[in-house]
Structure 1
Amino acid sequence: MTEDRLPGSALLPLAYRECRQIAAAHGRTYFLATRLLSAERRPAVHALYAFARMVDDVVDRAGRSAAAHDRDPAAELDQIERDLRAALESRLGSARTAPHASSADRQNDRSWESGPRPRALVLAAVTHTIHRYDIAAQHFWTFLDSMRMDAPGAPAFRNRYATMAQLREYMRGSAAAIGLQLLPVLGTVVPVSAAEPAAAALGEAFQLTNFLRDVAEDLDRDRVYLPADALAAFGVDDALLFECRRTGRTDPRVRRALAHLIAVNRDLYRRAEPGIDLLEPRVRPAIRTAATLYADILHHIERSDYAVFDHRAVVPRHHRLRIAATEFTTATLRGRLTR
């Protein structure tokens, strides 16, 4: 019996374990914050992260090297969507039924992570998570639509954004949708719809922080995820960005543009922060930790004098652990004081 046809009771632990390993390897900040969640919620968060990572890697590989990507990324995203739709429709994520790998998965099961049938395992875990927590499937189709904007050859492909409005259209699917996927897993003390605006804002805040941190890496793939009109207001264009990347030095005009966009980013965090109190009390420390650690990336960019072209801003591990410990201690004391 092949691994992608194991009985559901055997496959789901394997599938969730695969997702946990992906989250631990690639999402250090999220993984640390997830440690503050209850053991019951962690696997679902790992599954959602692993699915997003799997899709993101499809377009990242295409952006890094067309020669290294032996499949059309747009077609690959379409296949992932078909596989997920089929799994949801047949309830393959239930503990009673095991998902089968698609023909595309069998051909590409080592294309983004090592190990047996990783795509089938991630799809099994995320499908089970969607059913278990009654997550609206539309959030996944919105996410995939934004990812097609990253896929060379797709009709929606775009590697430049003229305005913040255009960039927010992309982030609505690439980041806000992920926040909305998480809400039913985390739980809320208000109707889910009341918590959605803040969750979407926090997703956008995380995404914009990534863009500011990864300017150099994105330029290497001929992508600019910063709005052209905001850059132009400070005298910055593509030529100047590429020159900064070539020399590894941040031009004063770019420094001022980045300072402006960091202020915009912090406003998103401020708008999202009240939404954390709309979540179930037990999950608030984890989300506060993730928000604090991600916002700290902005501080590290500033402290480096905006040197985003010669190194990647990273929050030191000891600082991440200290923030997580502080949030856990604070939450524990609050719980004792409110009993």
Structure 2
Amino acid sequence: MTDDPTFVPAPVRSQALASGPVDARADLAACKQILAEGSKSFAAASLLLPRRMRGPAAAFYAFCRVADDLVDFSADPSAAVVELAARLDRIYAAARAHQRNPQAVDALGDPVDRAFARVVGEYAIPRGVVDALIEGFAWDADERAYETMDEVLGYCARVASAVGVVMTAFMGPRDRRTLARACDLGAAMQLTNICRDVLEDADRGRLYLPAAWLRERGVDPVHFVAAPRDYVGDQRITGAVEAALDVAEGYYRRADAGIGMLPWDCRPAIRAASTIYADIGRVIRERGCDPLRGRAHTSKGRKLWLLACAWVRRTPKRVDAGQRDAPAIPACDFLLEDFE
């Protein structure tokens, strides 16, 4: 949610771009516009993607953005999830039919759906991975509670690691070891988001830090969500945030160890995404891990510097074989089954 009166949810923007003749290039342009307006960090990192990947990445991101906003801004989130599943049915049916009839995708009424259907067919993206993403949105709609870090990682697997798996498939690798490192990066980035957005999530009645961690520190999770501003500077909350950042940092290191397994031309963008998001964690730590001191972000200049560094040094100098070859996060293991 947002208090910005000028904000227009992605599904509304997508429909507004649906007028006119159906054209694959116009559909992709609509996706790129949604990408540019929806995530500055992702858009910045995508500038380093090889040209062959920019279209598929934009189409997939736009679908994710539309799906997320459809749930977040719906008066009935549960009904929105059902609508999303039906929408995905149509996308995959069109992708299958597209192999026999190139015009099959044109029957879809939304430019994002059409662009994503073409990508699904071209890259043979398993339905189960995208279903996992929709399940994550369903968990949000159900206001699911997360007691332990393992449960939080189950959420991260659906809303973030699934994205990493699809992006890696676009790049080419589909082996378990490489996909496991993509899951690590997705989990690390989502944990960073969770730490950055603690106050915003509490204002929406949500808590993604493990509830058990708050109880262990003497904080009632229900009271925290109801009155988060009562905990400004509270070391029990800052301690929980710091602990979550520590978990994220471990997964960033494992993900970095896998960057060398990616195609050479894809490494700068993934390196940039990792360092830009990890840098948000640095800012949070500099603020004492207090989520009530405002939303942490990196400056435009800092992003440009990190982008340049990622381009120059696209592969980390030191790679720990144990981290590179580590098994997938157990909560993410199911995402890899359709690739075996």
TM-score by length of 2: 0.80
Distance 1:73 1:195 in 2: 33
1:90 to 89, 97, 116: 97
Cα RMSD, aligned residues only: 2.7
2:108/2:114 contact within 8 Å kept? no
Gap runs ≥5 in structure 2:
1-15, 318-340
Aligned partner of 2:176 in structure 1 is 193
Q: How many residues align?
A: 301
Greater alpha carbon shift after TM alignment, 78-87 vs 169-178? 78-87
Distance 1:70 1:260 in 2: 31
Aligned partner of 2:28 in structure 1 is 16
Greater alpha carbon shift after TM alignment, 12-21 vs 246-255? 246-255
Cα 1:95–1:329 change in 2 (3 A) is: farther
1:93/1:124 contact within 8 Å kept? no
2:209/2:240 contact within 8 Å kept? no
Distance 1:45 1:27 in 2: 13
Distance 2:231 2:114 in 1: 43
Distance 1:165 1:44 in 2: 31
Cα 1:70–1:56 change in 2 (3 A) is: closer
Q: How does 1:312-327 map to 2 (within 5 A)?
A: 312-327=295-310
Distance 2:96 2:255 in 1: 34
Greater alpha carbon shift after TM alignment, 24-33 vs 313-322? 24-33
How much does 1:82 deviate? 2.6
1:173 to 154, 158, 176: 158
How much does 1:230 deviate? 2.1
1:95/1:128 contact within 8 Å kept? no
Aligned partner of 1:144 in structure 2 is 134
Is residue 2:80 matched to residue 1:73?
yes
Cα 1:308–1:131 change in 2 (3 A) is: same
2:239/2:289 contact within 8 Å kept? no
2:214/2:221 contact within 8 Å kept? no
Distance 1:277 1:270 in 2: 13
Which amino acid in the other structure matches residue 97 of structure 2? S
Aligned partner of 2:203 in structure 1 is 220
How much does 1:91 deviate? 2.2
1:60 to 36, 56, 72: 72
1:216/1:308 contact within 8 Å kept? yes
Distance 2:314 2:267 in 1: 8
Q: How does 1:325-336 map to 2 (within 5 A)?
A: 325-331=308-314
How much does 1:26 deviate? 1.3
Is residue 2:289 matched to residue 1:299?
no
Distance 2:266 2:41 in 1: 15
Distance 1:44 1:195 in 2: 19
SS in 2 for 1:300: helix
Distance 2:227 2:77 in 1: 32
Distance 1:93 1:72 in 2: 33
Aligned partner of 1:111 in structure 2 is none
Aligned partner of 2:3 in structure 1 is none
Aligned partner of 1:40 in structure 2 is 52
Cα 1:305–1:185 change in 2 (3 A) is: same
Cα 1:331–1:140 change in 2 (3 A) is: closer
SS in 2 for 1:202: helix
Cα distance per residue 1:8-63 (max 9 Å; x no partner): xx52111111111111111111111111112221111111111111111122224x
Greater alpha carbon shift after TM alignment, 86-95 vs 244-253? 86-95
Cα 1:314–1:297 change in 2 (3 A) is: same
Gap runs ≥5 in structure 1:
103-119, 152-156, 335-339
Cα 1:310–1:242 change in 2 (3 A) is: farther
How much does 1:250 deviate? 2.9
